[in-house]
């Protein structure tokens, strides 16, 4: 828990969830949104873009938090996260809106960074993204189309069941190029022994039961309430690529406000945004130029600005 350094009793409260599934939110606290960040020498330094400036178990944890910190109960509440949090954060939001009246939660919206929202769309668009960004050469692409689409590129729809053999191996990623700055800090025994496991993929995968592979119905329900949603995508991410998010938002069949692609920029880095509205809700889709899967880490000023504008209900420009 990181308390705001200004007007903590009135400012919006953000609850952050990292993805995985199985990754601790300590990852984001250390690398992206927390009050400190790693310097190149392995020491800690102040993070100028720290966000503290601005499901049953999870639901129970939130209730427990407010029991311990009741002074924050009236603050506007926002659920946020990244990656696979695109599945469980919206579900948690629905659970709060359906059951949270007794606890008087002041839930206003959710913001998700590079969220996984639709399994089929993600796989289909990942192949297109990889080809159009020169990660797949023409020979492999032609084989994709021949083996997975019967040679018909127009209207081809890659499906999970088709991704075997050639269709899968061309997207294998390199394992080199680790960011060693964090290891300089977390490596010493006196530090690592006091830190929880940051990711527990294998343990979680064994017990995790997939219930959602398409969040469309959940988002449509949320958009029928008085609610705000922000979807921001680093546009160099192949894990949960921006094309999936863009098509997911479009397929919700919401009323578009303004042009489909509107520019926004901060400190020389740009992207585009698309605004959708209902009678009582709004959804903003935006890209963050040059950011990867951890957009809040790699484009901190831009994402900090976008989230700050979002929780203040201001238009992003």
> How far, rounded to the nearest angstrom, does the alpha carbon of residue 95 sit from its chain's CA centroid?
19
Choice among 36-40, 59-63, 214-218, 228-232 with the minimum mean pLDDT: 36-40
Residues 100-124: tens digit of each pLDDT: 666 688 999 999 999 999 988 888 8
Residues 68-88: tens digit of each pLDDT: 988 888 889 999 989 888 988
Do residues 2 and 35 make contact, with C-beta atoms less than 8 angstroms apart?
yes
State mean pLDDT over 86-95. Answer: 89
237 carries an active-site annotation: yes
154 carries an active-site annotation: no
Choice among 33-42, 130-139, 168-177 with the minimum mean pLDDT: 168-177
Distance, CA of 265 to CA of 298 (rounded, Å) = 15
pLDDT surpassing 80 at residue 62: yes
The structural domains of the chain, ordered by start, are 13-119+178-311 (3.40.50.1820), 120-169 (no CATH)
- Model pTM score: 0.73
Do residues 271 and 286 make contact, with C-beta atoms less than 8 angstroms apart?
yes
83 carries an active-site annotation: yes
pLDDT surpassing 70 at residue 164: no
Q: What is the DSSP letter of 147?
A: H
| H or E segment and range at residue 91 | helix 85-99
Q: φ and ψ at 71, to 5 degrees?
A: -65, -15
CA angle 178, 183, 184 (to 5 degrees): 125
Do residues 81 and 33 make contact, with C-beta atoms less than 8 angstroms apart?
no
Q: Give the chain's radius of gyration (CA, Å).
A: 20
Per-residue pLDDT, 190: 56
Residues 170-227: tens digit of each pLDDT: 555 445 555 555 555 555 665 555 555 555 556 666 666 677 889 999 999 999 999 9
Q: Which among 83, 126, 228, 235 is annotated as catalytic? A: 83
Q: Which among 4, 140, 228, 237 is annotated as catalytic? A: 237
Distance, CA of 226 to CA of 229 (rounded, Å) = 10
The contacts found for 126-130 with CB under 8 angstroms, 24 or more apart, are 126/171, 126/238, 126/241, 126/244, 127/158, 127/167, 127/171, 128/243, 129/238, 129/241, 129/242, 129/243, 130/170, 130/171, 130/238
Q: Using CB atoms within 10 A of its CB, is residue 172 exposed (0-12), middle (13-18) or buried (19+)?
A: exposed
């Amino acid at each position: 828990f990181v308390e705001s350094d200004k007007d903590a009793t009135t400012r919006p409260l953000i609850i952050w969830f990292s993805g995985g599934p199985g990754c601790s939110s300590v990852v984001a606290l250390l690398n992206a949104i927390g009050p400190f960040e790693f310097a190149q020498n392995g020491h800690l330094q102040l993070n100028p873009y720290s966000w503290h400036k601005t499901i049953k178990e999870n639901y129970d944890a939130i209730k427990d938090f407010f029991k311990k910190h009741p002074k924050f109960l009236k603050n506007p509440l926002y659920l946020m996260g990244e990656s696979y949090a695109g599945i469980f954060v919206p579900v948690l939001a629905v659970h709060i809106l359906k059951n949270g009246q007794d606890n008087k939660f002041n839930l206003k919206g959710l913001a998700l960074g590079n969220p996984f929202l639709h399994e089929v769309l993600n796989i289909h668009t990942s192949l297109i993204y990889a080809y159009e960004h020169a990660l797949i050469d023409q020979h492999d692409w032609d084989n994709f189309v021949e083996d997975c689409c019967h040679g018909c590129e127009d209207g081809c729809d890659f499906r999970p069941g088709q991704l075997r053999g050639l269709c899968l191996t061309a997207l294998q990623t390199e394992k080199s190029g680790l960011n060693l700055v964090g290891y300089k800090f977390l490596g010493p025994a006196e530090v690592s022994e006091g830190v929880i496991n940051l990711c527990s993929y294998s343990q979680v995968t064994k017990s995790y039961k997939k219930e959602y592979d398409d969040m469309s119905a959940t988002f449509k329900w949320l958009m029928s309430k008085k609610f705000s949603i922000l979807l921001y995508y680093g546009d160099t991410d192949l894990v949960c690529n921006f094309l999936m998010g863009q098509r997911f938002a479009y397929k919700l069949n919401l009323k578009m406000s303004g042009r489909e692609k509107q520019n926004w920029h901060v400190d020389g880095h740009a992207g585009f945004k698309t605004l959708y509205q209902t009678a009582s809700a709004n959804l903003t889709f935006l890209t963050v130029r040059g950011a990867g899967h951890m957009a809040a880490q790699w484009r901190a000023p831009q994402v900090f600005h976008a989230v700050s504008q979002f929780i203040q209900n201001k238009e992003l420009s």
